[in-house]
Chain A
């Protein structure tokens, strides 16, 4: 992957961050990402990110678990090796509920966590470029991608005016594939006041 140029602005308060995000987007800059030390509620909407569908994946894993457990136990007890246990039915549904439930939960949880790790590209030994080491401590780090048209100096002073405590330019490889999830990011346009 080619190296790209980024302008990195750090904010120390989410109260400053929100208006800054709006200003930057209104001015037509493309925000690569904002790195925060904790989940800042509403920031995903402010950045124009869509809702995650992780829970839908969880549901699909869950019903797969239900099907596998019920189908598997039913097949074993009725087809593969039917046993007469005290004259009880071969498909005792109430007695199958505990295992069916546990398998549903197990598959859903394991599947969701693996999907989460895959989508976020999280795994041991994965190395990514960290724009600021304090992004996991106390700073909210906004990273803006520069194109050939970007005037870097203007952008830097613009960000300082927006309340950033520190602005610098970094060349980095945003080389993991989801780094470009905001490819089709829609620019925010101010609505005319009514």
Chain B
């Protein structure tokens, strides 16, 4: 039912209360900003020449990428023998890195989709960069299973299409096939979500462009956006539904990645706790990566007014929460291994993993320290708001989460059911490491280009919250507090 005109008029009278936000909440935009200042601050880095540091960083990234390309070239030309993966450790570094990168991607979708549904307005300052990180991380992740196929020229066999090979269909009941669908859908939906938000911001850059070239390129990218009310209405509806779709999607993606392990009969993998444990770990590592990137980005581009200490603190809270969930999962795994009294499970957990003297014990305990012990420091407010501590821990957490995937894969595989296959200590070759380093190159090359040519903060979304959560507007909240609430409440009640 639409409210009648009388009710509408009433709502409009008391509408100023809709702008009310308690002064106790920290402002999300610092400083005395107007709409134009927001545009200026965020678009300035795009229009200025990048600094020396940008060039240095960019060329290092490209160099790493080239090394990665060479490593992959060797793997394609000479075969999988260029890597140290062997008969029992078939997955090694390759799949470890795949799961690590996919996990990192998850924070972007959590910020852009789940926090949108929960109406967490602090997401508006960080979502653009976090979504970009998601897309680049998924691009990196996708490389590993593709090149791990060995005969990569047959990679298109995974797609189900009527073919002349039978038709030979992929096995839709296989978790590896689910992965193909999950990762490609995740990448596509993240890209669409990201770009549909970018269109209005590209239009902003187009309309203030001083050079012909910039006007042309951003004009093409802006798709002819005008800012019409009807278009905004549709755009809001689109992003809300996309958020609703991306929320179960992001949970499903890492669930399906965990199914790669959980549906097998390998001790240490065959557990029902894997999906929630993997999803929590993914968000944990993703937020750590967002912190690493944003701490540098906000400093270099001078965006401290938009990505405030409050934003950093909010993300650190997520890190301590998900880190503790992951810790809880580690302990549950150990207990279930003991409680099952299954000798293989016992061997995997108490001999191969949680044992200082086993060949890979060091990896297990590094993981325990980095993921479970270290983030507990974020229970202290002072630490959550300390940029150096945050920077250091965000890196520690990602090292820890890499070890988690390494431990899961290698310790379960290096001693299999057949003891005659044992006795080989798996360590990577230079080309396996090169491939991993190369994906860092890919990731940072993309991120450097993004930070130069794209608005790293969603301009329109910041303007939307400016007059509610901006520092200078908070002072006016006193006046709103004095307005009568009864009229507003009765008009707003349906």
On A, residues with C-beta under 8 Å from B are 18, 33-40, 42-45, 47, 49, 51-52, 54-55, 58, 62, 72-73, 76-77, 80-81, 83, 85, 88, 92, 95-96, 98-99, 101-103, 105-106, 108-110, 112-113, 116-117, 119-128, 130, 133-138, 141, 178, 181, 191, 194
26 pairs of residues in contact across A and B, judged by CB atoms under 8 Å: A37-B227, A37-B463, A38-B232, A39-B232, A40-B229, A51-B233, A58-B241, A101-B252, A105-B248, A106-B189, A108-B245, A109-B246, A110-B188, A113-B238, A116-B196, A120-B231, A122-B224, A125-B220, A128-B224, A128-B226, A135-B207, A136-B225, A137-B36, A137-B207, A178-B230, A181-B230
Chain B residues positioned under 8 Å from A49 (CB to CB)? 229-230, 233
Q: A52 and B233: CB pair below 8 A? A: yes
Give the contacting residue for A98; candidates B12, B182, B229; CB below 8 A: B182
Chain A residues positioned under 8 Å from B169 (CB to CB)? 76-77, 80-81
Q: How many A-B residue pairs have CB under 8 A?
A: 195
Q: B224 and A37: CB pair below 8 A? A: no
Give the contacting residue for A36; candidates B188, B227, B238; CB below 8 A: B227
Docked CA distance A125–B216 (Å): 9
A55 to chain B, nearest CB (A): 5
Q: B181 and A102: CB pair below 8 A? A: yes
Contact string against A for B residues 367-396, beta-carbon threshold 8 Å, 1 for contact and 0 otherwise: 000000000000000000000000000000
Given A55-B237, A137-B208, 17 new contacts (CB under 8 A): A33-B230, A37-B463, A39-B464, A52-B234, A58-B241, A83-B171, A102-B178, A102-B181, A105-B249, A109-B188, A109-B242, A119-B234, A120-B235, A126-B224, A138-B35, A178-B230, A191-B6
Q: A120 and B460: CB pair below 8 A? A: no
On B, residues with C-beta under 8 Å from A are 5-6, 8-9, 12, 15, 34-36, 39, 160, 166-169, 171-173, 177-178, 181-182, 184-185, 188-189, 192-193, 196, 199-200, 203-204, 206-208, 220-221, 223-238, 240-242, 245-246, 248-249, 252, 256, 259, 460-461, 463-464
Chain A residues positioned under 8 Å from B231 (CB to CB)? 120, 122
Docked CA distance A58–B188 (Å): 16
Chain B residues positioned under 8 Å from A113 (CB to CB)? 192, 196, 238, 242
Chain A residues positioned under 8 Å from B189 (CB to CB)? 105-106, 109
Give the contacting residue for B229; candidates A47, A116, A122; CB below 8 A: A47
Using CB atoms, name the residue of chain B closest to A22.
B12
Chain B residues positioned under 8 Å from A102 (CB to CB)? 178, 181-182, 185, 249, 252
Q: Which of B172, B189, B235, B252 has most A Cβ within 10 Å?
A: B172
Give the contacting residue for B172; candidates A76, A112, A128, A178; CB below 8 A: A76
Q: A137 and B39: CB pair below 8 A? A: yes
Docked CA distance A137–B38 (Å): 9
Docked CA distance A83–B169 (Å): 10
Q: Which of A96, A102, A128 has most B Cβ within 10 Å?
A: A102
Q: B207 and A99: CB pair below 8 A? A: no
Using CB atoms, name the residue of chain A closest to B220.
A124
Q: With A98-B182, A113-B192, A116-B196 in contact, is A35–B39 under 8 Å at CB?
A: no
Q: B241 and A55: CB pair below 8 A? A: yes
Q: B39 and A123: CB pair below 8 A? A: no
Using CB atoms, name the residue of chain A closest to B236.
A39
Docked CA distance A98–B196 (Å): 26
Chain B residues positioned under 8 Å from A119 (CB to CB)? 234
Chain B residues positioned under 8 Å from A95 (CB to CB)? 172-173
Using CB atoms, name the residue of chain A closest to B224.
A126
Chain A residues positioned under 8 Å from B226 (CB to CB)? 33, 35, 128, 130, 135
Docked CA distance A54–B234 (Å): 7
Q: With A39-B460, A102-B181, A116-B235 in contact, is A136–B207 under 8 Å at CB?
A: yes
Q: B230 and A136: CB pair below 8 A? A: no
B119 to chain A, nearest CB (A): 13
Docked CA distance A73–B200 (Å): 40
Docked CA distance A102–B253 (Å): 9
Q: B227 and A135: CB pair below 8 A? A: yes
Docked CA distance A130–B36 (Å): 18
